[in-house]
């Protein structure tokens, strides 16, 4: 909480930013509330003001003012983060990049595009359609590309195209003191010093504000077939995935949904699916290679209890299938009912340990009497339990936190990570020490070097230091 003096310096900083931005510095209750919401069960957290810069120069001046005043700045893309990353935990400015949403250059001959960070994923792909190219990273939510870079997002297509880490060539960022830097280039690779591009990717707005991105593009595949099939048990479905990945079949998407999630789809999307574990699949390539991949997958799945094949080639049918999958969070919410929220776990394990991880999670949820769905980008070993929580009941909140914690420790025991794609934010701070050990102190040194006054998204990603992990 800001004391009287701090409050005054923050207010002075906000007044100076208001002079610069005019009506684009907003302090209305509605706007602050919009930026203080989240899709999970973190309490509403209001910034003191919301700033809407339109240029890198404005971002630079805002940060210089805030740095001098020690006023916190939390970058905001679309506010879809699931670990509370975009919440202005320490007050100050919510820096909303949504007006910096232009495509700056399309370079089809080099298969890349230069964009501003507030551009949304769907809008980018609409702009690119005529070029025959697309940007493949797809977290389902219509997130901003700056937010996706800052959380190192991925999603259903990462099994084929990788995560944001693999799809950014270069960026421009504004540092805490207002200095503008560029990192990377339009070349496909570089061997010149520390890789600041990849340090900023996944830094959750704690090291700098991304103001431009150069993204890799892919050709729109000639043929696409989506398909679903079901299994008697989650274990069979997961073992089918493991064998598929180990066979080297180039899946475009391979997603697990368990029987509880299917109940949610039936409720929310009127899907009419039998309530059994399903795989949602996509095959892409030339028509001949899609036919070959489909046949190979069917052969692998035939070794398990597969049934109920259904496939779709028309764009609208495929879109309906993936839109149902992308709405999984809201389908969980429908299962939960009014007043309840969804806490999403996000562990990722080596593919060989996936069956053990998923079945243990299912058993722990069942034994604890929790309502929990399982969906997973299982080709990457990444899955989410969507656990119903009653935010007004401390016992429910504690039980769900404990469940999440247990799954996270299980993932670490299996050689995995506590977050495959959603990031740390506020929700996983207590797991950073176990996952990173002595490396955490080096992360703190990086934060101190980039942001000595601690103004960038304070309270996120790094837990408070313990005496043990200080660098000698
Ligand atoms: C229904 C649903 C499904 C989802 N599915 C997936 C999924 O499959 N895969 C996945 O990875 N995620 C998923 N997410 C989570 C979310 O969409 C991602 O974390 C996304 O990358 C957040 O982008 P955003 O624009 O909403 O960022 P915000 O939520 O606004 O911000 C996220 C973080 O990025 C920082 N930030 C934002 N813009 C910038 C910038 N320009 N410079 C520096 N820092 C910045 C913020 O300070 C914050 O720390 C899902 C969310 C929902 C609601």
| pLDDT (tens digit per residue) in 9-67 | 999 999 999 999 999 999 999 999 999 999 998 999 999 999 999 999 999 999 999 99
Q: Is 447 in the pocket of ligand 1 (CB under 6 A)?
A: no
How far apart (Å, rounded) are the C-alpha atoms in residues 178 and 369?
51
pLDDT for 469: 58
Who's near 103: CB < 8 A, 6+ residues apart? 113, 114, 115, 116, 119, 124, 127
Q: Is 38 in the pocket of ligand 1 (CB under 6 A)?
A: no
From 77, 68, 82, 21, select the one nearest 49 (Cα to Cα): 21
**3-state DSSP assignment of residue 358:** helix
Burial class (CB in 10 A: 0-12, 13-18, 19+), 14: buried
Q: Is 39 in the pocket of ligand 1 (CB under 6 A)?
A: yes
**Residue with the larger pLDDT of the pair 3 and 395:** 395
pLDDT for 4: 81
CA of 472 to the centre of ligand 1 (A): 35
Q: Is 147 in the pocket of ligand 1 (CB under 6 A)?
A: yes
pLDDT for 2: 61
Q: Is the pLDDT of residue 442 over 80?
A: yes
Residues 239-295: tens digit of each pLDDT: 999 999 999 999 999 999 999 999 999 999 999 999 999 999 999 999 999 999 999
Q: Where are the beta strands (DSSP E) in 196-277?
A: 209-216, 218-219, 223-230, 253-257
Task: Please list the residue range(s) of the chain that carry CATH number 3.30.43.10.
Answer: 3-96
Task: Please list the residue range(s) of the chain that carry CATH number 3.30.465.10.
Answer: 103-219
Q: Is the pLDDT of residue 180 over 50?
A: yes
pLDDT for 5: 80
Residues 295-306: tens digit of each pLDDT: 999 999 999 989
The whole-number average pLDDT for the span 135-145 is 96
pLDDT for 1: 52
The listed CATH number (3.40.630.10, 3.90.79.10, 3.50.50.60, 3.40.462.10) that belongs to domain 223-413: 3.40.462.10
How far apart (Å, rounded) are the C-alpha atoms in residues 414 and 333?
30
Which atom of ligand 1 lies at the shortest distance from residue 145's CA?
Answer: 25
**Pocket test residue of 37, 151, 424 for ligand 1, highest count of atoms within 8 A of CB:** 151
How far apart (Å, rounded) are the C-alpha atoms in residues 375 and 377?
7
> What one-character-per-residue DSSP string does 298-327 give?
HHHHTTTT-EEEEEE-SHHHHHHHHHHHHT
Q: Is 85 in the pocket of ligand 1 (CB under 6 A)?
A: yes
Q: What does the mean pLDDT of the chain come to?
A: 96
CA of 44 to the centre of ligand 1 (A): 17
From 79, 95, 92, select the one nearest 36 (Cα to Cα): 79
The whole-number average pLDDT for the span 366-387 is 96
Q: Is 137 in the pocket of ligand 1 (CB under 6 A)?
A: no
Query: Is residue 143 within 8 Å of residue 77, measured between CB atoms?
Result: yes
Which CATH architecture is the domain 3-96 placed in? Answer: 2-Layer Sandwich (3.30)
Which atom of ligand 1 lies at the shortest distance from residue 329's CA?
Answer: 1
Which atom of ligand 1 lies at the shortest distance from residue 146's CA?
Answer: 41
**Pocket test residue of 93, 138, 141 for ligand 1, highest count of atoms within 8 A of CB:** 141
Tokens 């929990």 correspond to what residue?
372
**Pocket test residue of 50, 72, 77 for ligand 1, highest count of atoms within 8 A of CB:** 77
The whole-number average pLDDT for the span 325-347 is 94
% of the chain with per-residue pLDDT over 90:
96
The residue whose C-alpha atom lies closest to atom 44 belonging to ligand 1 is: 205
Q: b or e along 214-227 (b: 16 or more beta carbons within 10 Å of the residue's beta carbon)?
A: bbbbeeebeebbbb
pLDDT for 468: 61
Tokens 């509605």 correspond to what residue?
30
Task: Please list the residue range(s) of the chain that carry CATH number 3.40.462.10.
Answer: 223-413
CA of 33 to the centre of ligand 1 (A): 18
Q: Is the pLDDT of residue 413 over 70?
A: yes
Q: Is 155 in the pocket of ligand 1 (CB under 6 A)?
A: yes
**Top CATH class, 103-219:** alpha beta
Task: Quickly state the pLDDT bin for 202 (edges 50, 70, 90).
Answer: very high
Tokens 């304070």 correspond to what residue?
458
The residue whose C-alpha atom lies closest to atom 5 belonging to ligand 1 is: 139
Which atom of ligand 1 lies at the shortest distance from residue 97's CA?
Answer: 41
> What one-character-per-residue DSSP string does 250-265 give?
--SEEEEE-HHHHHHH
**Pocket test residue of 76, 81, 102, 171 for ligand 1, highest count of atoms within 8 A of CB:** 81
The whole-number average pLDDT for the span 83-95 is 97
| Phi, then psi, of 211 in degrees rounded to 5 | -115, -5
Q: Is 154 in the pocket of ligand 1 (CB under 6 A)?
A: yes
The residue whose C-alpha atom lies closest to atom 34 belonging to ligand 1 is: 147
pLDDT for 472: 39
User: CA dist 15 to 62, 69, 71, 93, Å?
Assistant: 11, 12, 12, 11
How far apart (Å, rounded) are the C-alpha atoms in residues 320 and 271?
10
**Number of other residues whose CB lies within 10 A of the CB of residue 151:** 30
Which atom of ligand 1 lies at the shortest distance from residue 39's CA?
Answer: 53
**Pocket test residue of 95, 123, 142, 150 for ligand 1, highest count of atoms within 8 A of CB:** 150
């Amino acid at each position: 909480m800001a004391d009287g003096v701090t409050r005054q310096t923050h207010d002075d900083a906000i007044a100076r930013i208001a002079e610069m931005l005019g009506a684009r510095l907003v302090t209305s209750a509605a706007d602050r509330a919009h930026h203080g919401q989240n899709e999970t069960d973190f309490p509403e957290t209001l910034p003191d003001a919301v700033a809407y810069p339109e240029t890198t120069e404005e971002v630079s001046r805002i940060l210089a003012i805030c740095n001098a005043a020690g006023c916190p700045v939390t970058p905001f893309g679309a506010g879809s983060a699931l670990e509370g990353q975009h919440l202005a935990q320490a007050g100050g400015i919510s820096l909303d990049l949504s007006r910096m949403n232009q495509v700056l250059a399309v370079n089809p001959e080099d298969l890349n595009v230069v964009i501003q960070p507030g551009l949304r994923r769907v809008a980018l792909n609409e702009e690119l359609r005529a070029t025959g190219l697309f940007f493949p990273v797809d977290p389902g939510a219509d997130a901003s590309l700056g937010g996706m870079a800052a959380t190192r997002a991925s999603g259903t297509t990462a099994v084929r195209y990788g995560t944001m880490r693999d799809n950014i060539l270069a960026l421009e960022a504004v540092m805490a003191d207002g200095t503008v830097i560029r990192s990377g280039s339009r070349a496909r690779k570089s061997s010149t010093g520390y890789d600041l591009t990849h340090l900023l990717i996944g830094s959750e707005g704690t090291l700098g504000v991304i103001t431009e991105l150069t993204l890799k593009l892919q050709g729109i595949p000639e043929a696409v077939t989506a398909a679903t099939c079901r299994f008697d048990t989650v274990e069979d479905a997961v073992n089918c995935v493991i064998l598929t990945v180990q066979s080297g079949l180039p899946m475009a998407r391979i997603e697990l949904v368990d029987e509880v999630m299917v109940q949610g789809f039936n409720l929310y999307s009127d899907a009419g699916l039998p309530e059994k574990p399903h795989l949602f699949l996509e095959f892409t390539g030339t028509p001949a290679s899609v036919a070959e991949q489909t046949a190979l997958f069917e052969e692998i799945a035939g070794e398990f209890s597969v049934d109920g094949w259904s496939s779709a080639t028309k764009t609208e049918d495929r879109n309906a299938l993936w839109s149902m999958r992308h709405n999984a969070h809201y389908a969980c919410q429908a299962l939960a009912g009014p007043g309840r929220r969804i806490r999403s776990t996000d562990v990722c394990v080596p593919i060989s340990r996936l069956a053990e991880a998923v079945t243990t999670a299912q058993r722990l949820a069942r034994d604890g009497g929790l309502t929990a769905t399982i969906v997973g980008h299982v080709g990457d070993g990444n899955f989410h339990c969507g656990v119903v929580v009653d935010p007004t009941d401390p016992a429910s909140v504690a039980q769900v936190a404990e469940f999440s914690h247990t799954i996270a420790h299980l993932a670490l025991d299996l050689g995995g990570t506590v977050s495959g794609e959603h990031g740390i934010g506020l929700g996983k701070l207590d797991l950073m020490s176990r996952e990173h050990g002595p490396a955490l102190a080096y992360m703190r040194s990086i934060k101190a070097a980039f942001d000595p006054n601690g103004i960038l998204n304070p309270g996120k990603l790094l837990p408070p230091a313990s005496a043990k992990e200080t660098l000698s």
